[in-house]
C-alpha cells in the first residue's frame, strides 16, 4: 500500500516530537507500505523567519519571502531524515523542486501546476521512506514558491493524487473531525467519516482542521483523506465520498466562525442595480462575500448587509465608501461583534424540519437570528458574537444529545 | 566592470550588519558595475543547525547534513535581497542549484565540477544585483552538497572564474593580509599585494584569512583576489601573480600555527623502508604529514618525528601503533605543546641569508629550534608552543622593523 502522511509544524516542533513522528512513520514503513511523508516547518520557524524579514524590510517582495520561508520545511525534512537514519531505516529527504512540484508564478499563494513523480517513484522503488518539504514548489523560472496557508496539506494531497496513493493521512493535534468544537461542547463526538462537501463547509465555517484548498483538491482527484492525531493512537476521521442511506443522521457537525464581520450599507437608493454595484465594488477588491440581506427600511431606501471575513471588513467598507456617489447611499458601517453558527450535513436540505430544529434551539436560548443562509449542505445563522458558544451547545444538544 | 564580492557569516550576522553590507554592495552597483555577491550563513546559524542535528542523531548521514546546512546560506541571501529591495535596488537571490553550481557527490566536502552561468548571465543582463548562496551546490543526482570549510570563498572564486570577473573581493573582519598577526605583533603591517603561493603558505601556516582551496582555485584560473574589511573602508590586500624586482623585500609575512602536534616514534629498527612504512600508515589514515625528521639516537635505532594537525594526532599515533610489529619500534608518543613559526616569501630561498636571520632572531631570544623545513616560498621552524608569540615578534622585528 502506498501511503502519504503529512505532519504539521507542531508535530515536529522539537527533537522529542520528531522522534514521536518518526515512530509513526517507521511503523507504517515496517508494515510493508511505501511511505511518502510531507512535513511543515518546525513550530514557530515560519513566524521567526517572518520576524527576521520584517526587521530588515517591512514590505519585502514575495519572491524573496518565499526564498526565505522555504528553508523552514527543508530543515524539518533533513532533521526527520536524520532521526529515521538513526533508527536504521532507509530514507531520503527531498525539497519541493527535487520532488518535482511545479507551480504557477504567484509567490506566496502559488498553485500546483503538476507533479513530476519520476524522482519520487525512483526513490520508492529503492524502498526508501521519502520525506518531502511541504508548502513549497518551484515555478517555470526555477524560482522557489510557497503555497500559502495550509500549503503542506495541499502538497500531501497533490502527491497522493499524482502517485495514486491508497491513503492520505493528515496528522494534526486533534483526533479527527468532531460534531462540534470539543473544547467548547463537552458532548461533541468524533465523526468516523464525512464527505468532501461537508468537510469543505465545516472548514470554511471555522473548524480549523483542514484547509479548504486541500479538501477541494482531494475531492477533484478522489483522494481519500484521513484526519488523525500524531499524539493519540486512535482512528481519525475519513474524508471521502460517502453514500448515506435515507435513515442516516442528516447533520454532520456544527461549526462556529467568529472571524467574520457584517458590513451594512444604509439607505441605499432604491433603483435597479444598487445591490449589484455594491457587491461588484467588494468583489473587485478581491473579497469574497458570504451572506447578503436586503432589508426594507423607511420609504424608498433599503439597507443592504453582507458578511465578509473580519480581516477584509475594512477594505470592503472602503471599497463601498469610495463609490458612494455612483451607488447612492447614506452611510456604510462595519460590525465585528457577530458570529456565524452553521450546521452542516450532506443532503441536509432535502429533509424538512432541520431548519426548524435549529431555530427552536436558538429560540429556547433567546438568541436572535440576524441573517440566515441555507444551501444543500449547510444552514448558517448570523447571531451576536457573545451568544455563539451558547448557540452551538444548544444546537448540538438538539441534534446529537437527545 | 564585473565584480564578485563575498561576505562571511559575521558580516551578515544581524539586521544591522546586513544593512552595512548592503551599503557596500549598493555602492559597487551604483558605480555602474555588474555585481555578484556570495554570502555565508548568518553568524552562528551553521553551528546552531549542527547542534539541532546532534540532538536528533549524533552521526547523521552527510547527505542529510548538507540538506540541513544549505538552508543557512539561503536565508542569508533572501534577507540581503530584502534589504537591497528596501533601498530600491534591483536584486535577485539564487541558491547553489539555481546558479548552476554542479559538484561531485562528496557530501560535506564537495568539489565544484562546473558552473552553468546561463542564469547568472541572464540576471546580470537584466541589470540586477545577483546574490548567491555560498558553500553549496548540487551533484548529478540534483542533491544538495556543501563545499566544506571556507566553502563560500570557493564559491566566490569559482563564480569569478566562470564569469571572467574583473575582481573578486573577499570581505572579512580583518583589513587584509598582514606581515604577522596584528593582534600579537604591534609592528605588523598590511601588505598591499601578495602572490598566490605566498598566500597559500600563509594560509596553511595558520593565518586564517583565506582557505587554501579558494586560493588554489584563484591561482589556477588567474582570478585576482582582494581581501578587505566589511567594517573599515580601506584598500585591502591583493592576491595575484606579482613580478617582484630583485631589490624588493623577500619576506612577505610571518605566521604561527599552534594547532599542530609532533608524533615521535622511538627507536625505530634501522632497516630499509622503516620511515616509509610509518608515513604510509599515517597517509593511509588520510592524514597529511607536514615535516619529518629522522634523528640518530643510540646504537642502531633512530627516532622518527613528524608534524601533523593537532586534530589528527591521536589518529596518526594509533595508525602507527597498530603496525608496531610490522614496522618495528619501541614506542610512539604525541606532543601537542609545539608550534610552527614560518616566514613566507616568493623566491625567498634564492636569497641567502634569510634563514640565518631567522635563526639569529630565535637565538637572540634563546628559543630552541626543534625541526626545520624549507621550500622555495617558506621556512618553517617547530619550537615549543610557549615561545611562539615571542618568536614571531622577534623575527618580525628582524625583517620589518629595523
| CATH label of the domain that carries residue B92 | 3.40.1160.10
Is B309 among the domain residues?
no
Q: Across the interface, which of B18, B74, B119 has its CB nearest the CB of A56? A: B18
Q: Residue A114 has what pLDDT?
A: 95
Residues of chain B with Cβ-Cβ distance to A61 below 8 Å are: 81-82, 85
Are the beta carbons of B64 and A81 separated by less than 8 Å? yes
Chain B residues with CB under 8 Å of A18 CB are 56
Domain that residue B54 falls in: 2-173
Report H helices in B127-195. 151-162
> What are the b/e assignments for B87-106, b being 16+ CB within 10 Å?
eebebbbbbbbbbbbbbeee
Which residues from B are below 8 Å from A49, CB to CB? Answer: 75
Residue among A79, A81, A142 minimizing CB distance to B98: A142
> Which one of A58, A76, A82 would you mutate to disrupt binding with B, by most B Cβ within 10 Å of its Cβ?
A82
- Residue B61's pLDDT is 97
Helix and strand element counts for chain A (H, E): 12, 20
CB contact under 8 A, A56 and B83: yes
Please check whether residue B89 lies inside any domain of the structure: yes
- Identify the pLDDT of residue B244: 63
Contacts of B81 in chain A (CB under 8 A): 60-61, 64, 67
- Best CA proximity match to A355, nearest among A326, A391, A380: A380
Of A379-393, B218-232, B239-253, the one with minimum mean pLDDT is B239-253
Q: For residue A71, give the nearest of B61, B65, B71 by CB distance.
A: B71
CA distances (Å), B231 to each of A243, A275, B8, B186, in order? 70, 62, 12, 20
* CB contact set of A124 (below 8 Å; sequence gap of 6+): A2, A34, A36, A130
Q: What are A's interface residues with B at a Cβ cutoff of 8 A?
A: 15, 18-19, 49, 52-53, 55-57, 59-61, 63-65, 67-68, 70-71, 74-75, 77-79, 81-83, 85-86, 92-93, 95, 97-98, 119, 142-144
pLDDT at position A64: 97
Interval B354-379 mean pLDDT: 85
Partners of A118 on chain B (C-beta within 8 Å) are none
In which band, very low, low, confident or very high, does the pLDDT at B161 lie, cut at 50, 70 and 90?
Answer: very high
**One pLDDT digit (tens) per residue for chain A, 402 residues:** 999 999 999 999 999 999 999 999 999 999 999 999 999 999 999 999 999 999 999 999 999 999 999 999 999 999 999 999 999 999 999 999 999 999 999 999 999 999 999 999 999 999 999 999 999 999 999 999 999 888 999 999 999 999 999 999 999 888 888 888 888 888 888 999 998 988 888 876 655 678 888 999 999 999 999 999 998 889 999 999 876 655 555 688 898 989 999 999 998 887 777 878 888 888 888 888 877 777 655 556 688 889 999 999 999 999 999 999 988 899 999 999 999 999 888 766 666 678 888 888 999 999 988 888 877 778 889 999 999 999 999 999 988 887
CA distance A246 to A250: 9
Nearest to A78 among B64, B75, B95 (CB): B64
Alpha-carbon distance of B145 to B66, in angstroms, equals 5
pLDDT at position B200: 86
Cβ within 8 Å, pair B65-A79: no
Q: Which of A57, A77, A85 sits opposite B60 (nearest CB)?
A: A85
Coil vs helix vs strand at A257: strand
Q: B291 in a domain, yes or no?
A: no
Chain B CA closest to residue A81: B64
Per the CB < 8 Å rule, is B56 touching A74? Answer: no
Higher pLDDT, B250 or A124: A124
Interface touch B78/A64, C-beta < 8 Å = yes
Does residue B169 fall inside a structural domain?
Answer: yes
Residues in B touching A77 (Cβ below 8 Å): 67
Could you tell me which residues come within 8 angstroms of residue B299 by beta carbon, excluding any fewer than 6 positions away? none
Contact A56 B98 (CB under 8 A): no
How far A76 CA lies from chain B's nearest CA (Å)? Answer: 8
Q: Which of B82, B83, B87 to mutate to test the interface with A (most CBs of A within 10 A)?
A: B82
Say what the pLDDT of residue A2 is.
97
Mutate to test the interface with A, among B78, B105, B137 (most CBs of A within 10 A): B78
Helix (H, G, I), strand (E, B), or coil: what is residue B205?
A: coil
Q: In what order do the strands lie in the sheet with A91-94?
A: A91-94, A129-133, A34-39, A2-7, A167-172, A225-229, A237-239, A193-194
Name which of A18, A56, A67 is nearest B56 (Cβ-Cβ): A18
Q: What's the pLDDT tens digit per position in B281-304?
A: 888 888 888 777 776 555 566 888
Distance separating alpha carbons of residues B251 and B243, to the nearest angstrom? 14
Q: Distance between CA B45 and CA A107 in Å, rounded?
A: 26
Q: Is ipTM over 0.90?
A: no
A277 lies in some domain: no
Contact list in B for residue A45 (CB cut-off 8 A) is none
* pLDDT given at position B251: 81
Closest CA to B134 of B82, B71, B212: B71
Residues of A in contact with B53 (CB under 8 A): 78-79, 82
Looking at the complex, report in whole angstroms how far the Cα of residue B176 sits from the nearest Cα belonging to chain A.
29
Contact B68 A79 (CB under 8 A): yes
Q: Is the CB of A68 less than 8 angstroms away from the CB of B53?
A: no
Residue A156 · residue A3 · CB < 8 Å: no
The length of chain B is 402
The alpha carbon of residue B118 is apart from the nearest alpha carbon of chain A, in Å, by 12
Kindly indicate the confidence band of residue B352, based on its pLDDT and cuts at 50, 70 and 90.
Answer: low
Instruction: Give B140→chain A minimum CA distance, Å.
Output: 12
Alpha carbon of A333: minimum distance to chain B alpha carbons (Å): 36
* Predicted local distance difference test score (pLDDT) of residue A308: 92
- A98 to chain B nearest CA, in Å? 7
HSE at residue A230, side-chain half, CA atoms within 13 A, is 25
In a domain, A63, yes or no: yes
CB–CB contacts below 8 A, A to B: 111
Asked if A188 and A26 count as a contact pair (C-beta separation under 8 A), the reply is no
Residues in chain B with CB shorter than 8 Å from the CB of A74 are 67-68, 70-71, 74
Model confidence band, residue B356 (pLDDT cutoffs 50, 70, 90):
confident
Residue A85 lies in a domain: yes
* Number of domains making up chain B: 1
Q: Which of B72, B79, B140 to mutate to test the interface with A (most CBs of A within 10 A)?
A: B79
* CB-based contact A61 B82, cutoff 8 Å: yes
Work out the average pLDDT over B184-206.
Answer: 84
Q: How far is B81 from chain A (nearest CA, A)?
A: 7
Nearest chain B residue to A67 by CA distance is: B78
Nearest CA in chain B to A95: B67
Residue in B with minimal Cα distance to A12? B56
Q: Is residue B101 part of a domain?
A: yes
Residue of B nearest to A82 (CA): B60
Amino acid at each position: 500500500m502506498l501511503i502519504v502522511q503529512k505532519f504539521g509544524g507542531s508535530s515536529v516542533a522539537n527533537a522529542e516530537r520528531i522522534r514521536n513522528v518518526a515512530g509513526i512513520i517507521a511503523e507504517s514503513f515496517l508494515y510493508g507500505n511505501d511511505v511518502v511523508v510531507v512535513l511543515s516547518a518546525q513550530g514557530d520557524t515560519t513566524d521567526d523567519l517572518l520576524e527576521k524579514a520584517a526587521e530588515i524590510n517591512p514590505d519585502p517582495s514575495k519572491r524573496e519571502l518565499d526564498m526565505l520561508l522555504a528553508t523552514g520545511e527543508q530543515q524539518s525534512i533533513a532533521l526527520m531524515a536524520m532521526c529515521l537514519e538513526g533508527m536504521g531505516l532507509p530514507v531520503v529527504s527531498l525539497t519541493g523542486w527535487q520532488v518535482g512540484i511545479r507551480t504557477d508564478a504567484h509567490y506566496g499563494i502559488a498553485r500546483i501546476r503538476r507533479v513530476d513523480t519520476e524522482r519520487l517513484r525512483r526513490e520508492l522503488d529503492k524502498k526508501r521512506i521519502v520525506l518531502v518539504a511541504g508548502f513549497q514548489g518551484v515555478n517555470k523560472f526555477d524560482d522557489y514558491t510557497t503555497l500559502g496557508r495550509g500549503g503542506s496539506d495541499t502538497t500531501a494531497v497533490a502527491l497522493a493524487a499524482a502517485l495514486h496513493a491508497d491513503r492520505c493521512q493528515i496528522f494534526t493535534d486533534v483526533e479527527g473531525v468532531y460534531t462540534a468544537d470539543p473544547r467548547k461542547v463537552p458532548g461533541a463526538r468524533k465523526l468516523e467519516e464525512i464527505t468532501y462537501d461537508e468537510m469543505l463547509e465545516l472548514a470554511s465555517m471555522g473548524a480549523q482542521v483542514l484547509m479548504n484548498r486541500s479538501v477541494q483538491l482531494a475531492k477533484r482527484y478522489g483522494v481519500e483523506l484521513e484526519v488523525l492525531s500524531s499524539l493519540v493512537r486512535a482512528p481519525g476521521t475519513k474524508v471521502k465520498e460517502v453514500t448515506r442511506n435515507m435513515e442516516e443522521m442528516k447533520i454532520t457537525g456544527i461549526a462556529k466562525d467568529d472571524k467574520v464581520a457584517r458590513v451594512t450599507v444604509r439607505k441605499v437608493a432604491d433603483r435597479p442595480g444598487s445591490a449589484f454595484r455594491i457587491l461588484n465594488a467588494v468583489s473587485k477588491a478581491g473579497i469574497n462575500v458570504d451572506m447578503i440581506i436586503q432589508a426594507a427600511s423607511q420609504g424608498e431606501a433599503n439597507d443592504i448587509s453582507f458578511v465578509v471575513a473580519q480581516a477584509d471588513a475594512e477594505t470592503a467598507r472602503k471599497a463601498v465608501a469610495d463609490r458612494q456617489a455612483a451607488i447612492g447611499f447614506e452611510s456604510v458601517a462595519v460590525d465585528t461583534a457577530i458570529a456565524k453558527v452553521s450546521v452542516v450535513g450532506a443532503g441536509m436540505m432535502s429533509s424538512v424540519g432541520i431548519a426548524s430544529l435549529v431555530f427552536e434551539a436558538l429560540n429556547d436560548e433567546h438568541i436572535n437570528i440576524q441573517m440566515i443562509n441555507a444551501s444543500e449542505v449547510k444552514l448558517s445563522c448570523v447571531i451576536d458574537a457573545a451568544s455563539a458558544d451558547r448557540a452551538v451547545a444548544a444546537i448540538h444538544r438538539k441534534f446529537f444529545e437527545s
